[in-house]
DNA sequence: CTGAAAGCGCTAACAA
DNA sequence: TTGTTAGCGCTTTCAG
């Protein structure tokens, strides 16, 4: 059986209260006694039972995680890596609330409460999919990734989507492209709205008029990228370059371009977004905007911890820098 | 504040004991009372506090997870997807014990105990890296993935590595390759031992004598695959086909073959293992052994649940079927 | 500076 | 069939 505080107290010849005080850093304990207690804590490898701890109102050191998109999301793994570092630094464990499915009978908030979760990180891209009202009203500290919710005790974090896309357009413009297209992600998603805004801003910067027909709707997937590109190519005056809202769309777009008998980057430039692992392996290797998912993971925990430990803190809207990774999918515009 | 059992009892006009009995499925409760209690449970959205529950010795419905390799492992995401299904079905939540680092000061087992974890899944590939002795002695039900530990209350699960590789060799032999090489993973890993055994068995089946010099040591990475292939290519009589212990090694191997001025699959056939996402995207697309990581994830939880709920159960050694995915990286041997 | 005792939310004997 | 009560392991007043 696991050792408990009484075992330690008995071994050290003190009361459980004293052991508890030592463990919780009270200064009202004699240095001698403290040493003695600590000695037995180490010897017995005692770790206070978290359940009992959180029961008496102490911190549970548990953070919950929820994904609206399911575990299969391509970034999830990397975000987790980043979270891991911060989790360790701050002393939290991460609990994946598996039974969750938002809706009528089931209450995510209740689930969190029953698990004594101190805070929760939510990862997803669409507002409509789920109703976060209950969570926001619950006053459980929360951090959203790629979802601009900032209300009550909930903040969010995301990449600098707008600037990143603006820079991407500038890069393409420097390659002398003038007919620039945009393949969007899901139209109402936070990231798409900002990337699209960046696209338009970039156009303006470069003195290129915006053309409605050069915006093709997608949904972040390869299939959508493929279909969107086909539509773009069917235009009377097709574009010569495209910025895609995701690497997967970019891959789909390249597929469509190839099928139309053209090659990338000679005839057409394709710029992606994300820099997923695949990006460096497909041919041509993708020129793309790298999102620093590890930094996002780390920061989301740091911010959440801040929210948890400081009740008065205004919920953050954290932005993480991106970087344009130049590979082989973009080239100079052909003089025509 | 979260509702507790007393709130429900008060609302329903019964004692807390009655509420508890209803919730725990005791049959000694009047049908009327039960209905009434259930009504208020639903109305107040009551969920018993897990901490209190596990404190009194009830099940915590919590499974811990530990990765010797860190979160960045390429399979982890897919395994998680599989685990998710089973977790939901069985009603567990998953806790990632983040502060862990095995060794002197830190006890993984204590950590599990302090979190009232009912069972734990461990994922990694090398025995040496960590000492699992403490875990095995602790009697905490455990399931290892790709690590053949079967002792006490610990079992394991893995793909049919031996048969898979044997089949892969048979496939290559059918393409009339006779000079078959093997690029290994870490030599002492469970999976490599079995894959290598399968390689030799396949050779024997095909009536091809084993040649020591055709076995090149790697460590699952792309770099190792690249280096191993270079060594193979430098042989006086180089092989014409290679089976690699991972897709990443296969990708590295292809790189080396190209650099040597040959092409895949025309001059050299390369067969991978895993079928990671990349496998279908690199050129040539990899012919490879697909590991069903989703099934592994699902099964590992099911087996762990069995171990948890049945104290007398013998720890399982579960094997999951693989499938040879034929793409473009293997072709017929050139008649020479 | 130390310890006795109450109580966190829940379950399980035991009484009624 | 229901309620009273002790106690899980811990923290925290409050006396000593």
pLDDT tier at B129 (50, 70, 90 boundaries)?
low
Find residues 281-320 of chain B whose CB sits inside 8 Å of chain A: 281-283
Q: Which nucleotide shows the minimum CA-to-C1' distance to residue B58?
A: C11
Q: Does B45 touch chain A (CB under 8 A)?
A: yes
Tell me, yes or no, if the two domains B62-160+293-321 and B161-291 fold the same way: yes
What 3-state DSSP class applies to B270?
Answer: strand
Distance from CA of B112 to the nearest CA of A (A): 10
* Residue B281 to residue A281, Cβ atoms within 8 A: yes
Asked if B114 has any chain A CB less than 8 Å from its own CB, the reply is yes
Across the interface, whether the CB atoms of B94 and A96 are under 8 A apart is answered yes
The alpha carbon torsion through A140, A145, A147, A151 (nearest 10 deg) reads 30
For residue A29, CA distances in Å to A18, A59, B10 come to 7, 22, 42
B104 falls in which pLDDT band (50, 70, 90)? Answer: low
Instruction: Determine the protein residue whose CA lies at the shortest distance from the C1' of D5.
Output: B17
**Which of B76, B98, B115 has the CB atom closest to A87's CB atom?**
B98
Tell me the pLDDT tens digit for each residue of A210-255: 999 999 999 999 999 999 999 999 999 999 999 999 999 999 999 9
Q: Is A60 on the interface with B (CB under 8 A)?
A: yes
* Chain B nearest CA to A278, separation (Å): 6
Q: Tell me, in Å, how far CA of B115 is from C1' of C3?
A: 28
Distance B56 CA to D5 C1' (A): 15
Q: CA-CA distances (angstroms) from residue B200 to A254, B119, B176, B209?
A: 42, 37, 17, 9
Measuring from the CA of residue B31 to each C1', which nucleotide is nearest? D1
Q: Among all chains, which residue has been given the structure tokens 């030599």?
A: B187
Average confidence score pLDDT of chain A: 92
Please write the tens of the pLDDT for every residue from A36-64. 999 999 999 899 999 999 999 889 999 99
Cα A83 from Cα A71, distance rounded (Å): 15
pLDDT band at B99 (very low <50, low <70, confident <90, very high): low
Nearest residue, CB atoms, A114 vs list B47, B113, B114: B47
Q: How many CB pairs under 8 A join A and B?
A: 128
CATH class of B161-291: alpha beta
Min Cα distance A63 → chain B (Å) is 10
Q: Is the pLDDT of residue A102 over 60?
A: no
CA distance B161 to B169: 12
Residue A28's nearest nucleotide, by CA–C1', is C1
Is the predicted pLDDT of residue B193 greater than 80, yes or no?
A: yes
Protein-contacted bases of chain C (C-beta within 7 A): 1-5, 7-13
Write the DSSP symbol of residue A94: E
Give the span between the Cα atoms of A147 and A129, in whole angstroms: 12
B35 CA, C5 C1': separation in Å?
Answer: 39
Write the burial class of residue A236 (CB in 10 Å: 0-12 exposed, 13-18 middle, 19+ buried): exposed
How far apart CA A225 and CA B175 sit, in angstroms, is: 37
Mean pLDDT score of chain B: 92
Place of tokens 């010797």: B68
Buried b (16+ CB within 10 A) or exposed e, A88-102: eebebbbbbbbbbeb
Please give the pLDDT value at position A57: 84
Protein-to-nucleotide distance from the CA of A45 to the C1' of C1, whole angstroms: 26
Predicted pLDDT at A324: 98
Give the DSSP H/E element, type plus range, for residue A86: helix A76-90
Q: Are strands A154-159 and A317-320 parallel, antiparallel or unpaired?
A: parallel
CB contact under 8 A, B93 and A88: no
Q: Report pTM.
A: 0.92
Strand C footprint, Cβ within 7 Å: A 13-18, 21, 27-34, 52, 55-57; B 1, 4-6, 16-17, 19-21, 23-24, 46, 48-49, 52-53, 55-58
Is A99 in the B-facing interface, judged by CB distances under 8 Å?
yes
Partners of A317 in the beta sheet? A156
Q: DSSP readout, A184-203?
A: -SSTTSHHHHHHHHHHHHHH
Side-chain-side CA neighbours of B86 within 13 Å: the count stands at 21
Strand order in the sheet with A62-67: A317-320, A154-159, A142-145, A119-123, A62-67, A93-96, B93-96, B62-67, B119-123, B142-145, B154-159, B317-320
A138 near B CB under 8 A = no
Percent of chain B at pLDDT > 70 equals 95
Nearest Cβ partner of B277 from A2, A107, A278? A278
Task: Say which of A48, A98, A283 has its CB closest to residue B114.
Answer: A48
CA-nearest residue of chain A to B62? A95
Distance from CA of A47 to the nearest CA of B (A): 6
pLDDT tens for B42-72 read 999 899 999 999 999 889 999 999 887 666 6
pLDDT band at A132 (very low <50, low <70, confident <90, very high): confident
B62-160+293-321: what fold?
A: Rossmann fold (3.40.50)
Interchain CB contact of B94 with A (< 8 Å): yes
Helix (H) or strand (E) holding A336, with range, is: none
Q: Which CATH architecture has domain A5-55?
A: Orthogonal Bundle (1.10)
State the Cα–Cα distance between residues A199 and A167, nearest whole angstrom.
9
pLDDT of A203 higher than 60: yes
Position A72 scores a pLDDT of 64
Nearest nucleotide, CA A15 to C1':
C3
Residue-level pLDDT at B1: 64
Nearest-by-CA chain A residue for B92: A98
In which element (H, E) is residue B34 found? Answer: helix B31-43
Residues in chain B closer than 8 A to A117 (CB atoms): none
Cβ separation of B78 and A88 shorter than 8 Å? no
- Using the structure, give the distance in angstroms from the CA atom of A24 to the C1' atom of C2, rounded to a whole number: 16
How do residues A61-99 score in pLDDT, each as one tens digit?
Answer: 999 998 876 666 778 888 988 998 899 999 999 999 876
Q: Do B2 and A48 touch (CB under 8 A)?
A: no
Indicate yes or no: CB of A97 within 8 angstroms of CB of B95. no
Query: Domain spans of chain A?
Result: 5-55, 62-160+293-321, 161-291
Q: Is A28 on the interface with B (CB under 8 A)?
A: no
- pLDDT score, position A107: 81
Residue numbers of B between 195 and 224 with CB closer than 8 Å to A: none
Length of chain B: 336
């Amino acid at each position: 059986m696991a050792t408990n505080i009484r075992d330690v107290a008995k071994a050290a010849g003190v009361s459980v209260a004293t052991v508890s005080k030592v463990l919780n850093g009270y200064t009202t304990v004699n240095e001698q006694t403290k040493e003695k207690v600590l000695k037995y804590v180490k010897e017995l490898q005692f770790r206070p039972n978290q359940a009992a701890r959180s029961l008496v109102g102490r911190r549970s050191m548990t953070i919950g995680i929820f994904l609206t998109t399911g575990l299969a999301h391509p970034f999830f793994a990397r975000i987790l890596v980043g979270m891991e570092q911060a989790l360790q630094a701050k002393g939290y464990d991460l609990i994946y609330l598996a039974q969750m499915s938002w809706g009528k009978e089931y209450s995510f908030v209740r689930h969190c409460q029953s698990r004594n979760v101190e805070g929760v990180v939510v990862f997803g891209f669409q507002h409509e999919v789920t109703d976060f009202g209950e969570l926001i009203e619950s006053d459980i500290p929360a951090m959203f990734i790629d979802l601009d919710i900032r209300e009550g005790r909930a903040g969010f974090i995301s990449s600098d989507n707008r600037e990143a896309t603006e820079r991407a357009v500038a890069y393409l413009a420097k390659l002398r492209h003038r007919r620039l297209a945009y393949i969007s992600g899901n139209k109402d998603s936070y990231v798409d709205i900002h990337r699209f805004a960046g696209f338009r801003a970039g156009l303006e910067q470069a003195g290129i008029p915006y053309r409605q027909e050069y915006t093709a709707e997608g949904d972040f997937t390869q299939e959508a990228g493929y279909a969107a590109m086909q539509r773009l190519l069917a235009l009377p005056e097709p574009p010569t370059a495209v910025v895609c809202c995701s690497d997967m769309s970019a891959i789909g777009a390249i597929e469509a371009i190839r099928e139309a008998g053209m090659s990338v980057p000679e005839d057409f430039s394709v710029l992606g977004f994300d820099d997923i692992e695949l990006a460096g392996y497909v041919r041509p290797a993708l020129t793309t905007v790298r999102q620093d998912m590890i930094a996002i993971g780390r920061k989301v925990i740091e911010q959440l911890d801040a929210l948890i430990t400081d009740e008065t803190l205004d919920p953050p809207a954290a932005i993480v820098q991106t970087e344009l990774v130049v590979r082989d999918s973009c080239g100079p515009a052909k003089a025509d």
